[in-house]
Amino acid sequence: MKTIENLFYTEDHEWIKIEGNEALIGITDYAQHKLGSIVFIDLPEEDDEFERNESFAVAESTKAASDILMPLDGTILEINEDLDDEPGLVNEDAYKNWFVKISISDTSQIDDLISDKQYIEFCSKED
Amino acid sequence: MSNLKRTALYEKHVESNGQIIDFAGWQLPVQYESLEAEHNVVRNVAGMFDVSHMGEVEVKGLDALNFIQNLVTNDVYTIENNQIVYTFMCYENGGVVDDLLVYKRNNNDFLLVINASNISKDYEWMLENSKDYNVEIINISDSISEIAIQGPKAEEILQKTTEFDLSNIKFFFFEQNIKIGNIDCLISRTGYTGEDGFEIYTNNNDIAIIWDALLDAGKEEGLLPAGLGARDTLRFEASLPLYGNELSNEITPLEAGLGFFVKLGKNDFIGKNALVKQKTEGLKRKIIGFEIEKGIARHGFEVYAGDNKIGFVTTGYISPTLGKSIGLALIDAKYATIGNEINIKVRKKFRTAKIISKRFYKKNYNK
């Protein structure tokens, strides 16, 4: 399973790229592999607000729908419209194909995110 | 997990990297490498399913024919030895006990093949309704294993494993004591995918040999083992019903659009009065096909016409073969016209959908 060093992670298998008061959010390589072929991604709308741990998107395989949870409190600034037509892009490259860009409401919550090393360790225990 | 049952092919599934799940109390693979690959191989080449969890009940005796004629909705008086009919057992109110296949060996000897999730219920139902008949009803489910090989190359591949000329088995007919290697099998030209194919029944001790023989015979063509996930997407594309989705104790065969298998003109059978009444009065609910604009409509999602809730989704998928998001739903009959727009509640959003023909996919039976 692939990870990228300068990103943050959660135990719900999301990655976060912090850019000041904003963040890009996606799912990890581990997550896309577990989901199998992603056939549909249900994204939120711009200006939608979510709390940490609230489901903001759904990634669907043929068999099942998986909630994608907000790692931080925030407001949706942008959604990745490429994923509308080609949800399979996430299977191809989970780190390049982000789901949403958010503005972060409470930057202190970043302290609760985990590093790539901690995420790798967490995953090795999951299996 | 220790209360779950395993078929005699469990180790084969593990060897092939099957993702094992609990299905109706059995540990079976939902998929191996990829649901889409398994679905596509059945449509294009052939796939192989472990269906040993299905139930088999023998009905034998002087009154076997009459007992079954009363038990099921289809007409078994008109079928030949070695022929099979698809039919339903209904409750007095017309709701479905189970859908099943009836294999006729002769007038005094039948094999009924039933859904894994309904084995105990079906067996009890048959016993309860046999009191007036001179029949023996024997549940042999635990001693029979079964493999389904389905796809355009199913016959070619299976033929490599036996000297019996399979072209002699016509659609919805079977033969017994066919040797694969030195193992006796019952083979029928039946299936649940919309493709040509066969179902192979034998005893638990020998089924693994059949599995290996088929994998070997199909290597050149690219035969793959296929799991329960693909089994559901394949039957759904072919508009074949699943008990618990399109059929249940609360959904009649007429509401499901399967009246072809209900012979209201034959003598009395359990549920006949209710079904005749339902047909005469006109159906109040019908199963329709739909295509949804965006997203996936899953089993149980509510269907609306404007503000009115008019029904629910019975099965929905993005069809691997057709690439469209489609489904089946049970709705108020007055909205059930092809071309009508409906709304489906997908989690919190309402998505537009259009009613389309249930014939999503053109079946390729070898008739």
Cα gap B48→A23, rounded to integer Å: 47
Cβ within 8 Å, pair B35-A60: no
Cα gap A57→A102, rounded to integer Å: 13
Which residue in B has a C-alpha nearest to residue A84's C-alpha?
Answer: B294
Q: Three-state DSSP class for A79? A: strand
pLDDT in tens, B284-307: 999 999 999 999 999 999 999 999
Would you give the distance in Å from CA B239 to the centre of its chain?
10
From the list A36, A39, A42, the residue facing B34 with the nearest CB is A36
Cα gap A19→A12, rounded to integer Å: 21
Q: Which residues contact B4 (CB under 8 A, 6 or more apart)?
A: B22, B25, B26, B27
Tokens of A95: 């780190």
Whether the predicted model's global pTM rises above the 0.80 cut: yes
CA distance readout (Å), B240 to A76, B268, B272, B352, B359: 42, 26, 23, 24, 10
Q: What is this model's ipTM?
A: 0.88
Residue numbers of A between 53 and 72 with CB closer than 8 Å to B = 58, 60-63, 65
pLDDT in tens, B210-235: 999 999 999 999 999 999 999 999 99
Pick among A33, A48, A62 to test the B interface (most B CBs inside 10 A): A62
Would you give the distance in Å from CA A78 to the centre of its chain?
14
From the list B229, B295, B346, the residue facing A62 with the nearest CB is B229
Cα gap A18→A7, rounded to integer Å: 8
Chain A residues whose CB is inside 8 A of the B34 CB are: 36-37
Cα gap A75→A46, rounded to integer Å: 8
Give yes or no for residue B1 having a pLDDT over 80.
no
Which residue in A has a C-alpha nearest to residue B33's C-alpha?
Answer: A36
CA distance readout (Å), B47 to A8, A127, B277: 43, 29, 42
Mean pLDDT across the stretch B306-327?
A: 97
Chain A residues whose CB is inside 8 A of the B30 CB are: 63
Cα gap A96→A18, rounded to integer Å: 15
- Which residues of B14-164 form beta strands (DSSP E)? 19-23, 26-31, 47-50, 55-60, 84-90, 96-106, 109-114, 136-139, 144-150
Q: What pLDDT does B105 receive?
A: 98
Give yes or no for residue B46 having a pLDDT over 60.
yes
Chain A residues whose CB is inside 8 A of the B233 CB are: 62
Asked if A36 reaches chain B (Cβ–Cβ under 8 Å), the answer is yes
Mean pLDDT across the stretch B63-84?
A: 98
Looking only at the bridges linking them, the beta strands covering B224-225 and B47-50 are parallel
Q: Which residues contact B37 (CB under 8 A, 6 or more apart)?
A: B224
Q: Phi-psi category of B327—alpha, beta or left, where left has phi over 0 and alpha has psi -120 to 50?
A: beta
Amino acid in the structure at residue B120: S
Q: Judge whether A75 and A105 are in contact, CB under 8 Å.
A: yes
From the list A40, A58, A62, the residue facing B233 with the nearest CB is A62
Show the DSSP H helices in chain B as ranges: 10-15, 35-44, 64-71, 119-128, 154-159, 207-217, 228-237, 272-281
Asked if B34 reaches chain A (Cβ–Cβ under 8 Å), the answer is yes
Q: What pLDDT does B2 receive?
A: 63
Q: What pLDDT does A4 receive?
A: 87
Task: Report chain B's mean pLDDT, rounded to a whole number.
Answer: 97
Show the DSSP H helices in B219-265 as ranges: 228-237
Show the DSSP H helices in B26-87 as ranges: 35-44, 64-71
Mean pLDDT across the stretch B275-290?
A: 98
- Cα dihedral A39, A44, A46, A52 sign: negative
Taking chain A (127 residues) in runs of 10, the rounded mean pLDDT of each run is 90 96 97 94 97 97 95 98 96 97 96 95 88
Cβ within 8 Å, pair B233-A58: no
DSSP B169: S
Pick among B34, B296, B322, B326 to test the A interface (most A CBs inside 10 A): B296
Mean pLDDT across the stretch B180-191?
A: 97
From the list A42, A61, A63, the residue facing B295 with the nearest CB is A42
Pick among A42, A50, A63, A85 to test the B interface (most B CBs inside 10 A): A63
Cβ within 8 Å, pair B30-A39: no
Chain B residues whose CB is inside 8 A of the A63 CB are: 30-31, 35, 229
Give yes or no for residue B74 having a pLDDT over 80.
yes
CA angle, B39 as apex, B37 and B41 as ends, to 5°? 65
Mean pLDDT across the stretch B274-284?
A: 98
Cα gap B126→B314, rounded to integer Å: 27
Tokens of B127: 């016993």
Tokens of B148: 């389904």
- Which has the closest alpha carbon to B57: B49, B47, B48, B68? B68
Q: Judge whether B194 and B237 are in contact, CB under 8 Å.
A: yes
pLDDT in tens, A21-41: 999 999 999 999 999 999 999
Q: What pLDDT does B348 receive?
A: 87
Tokens of B234: 């394949």
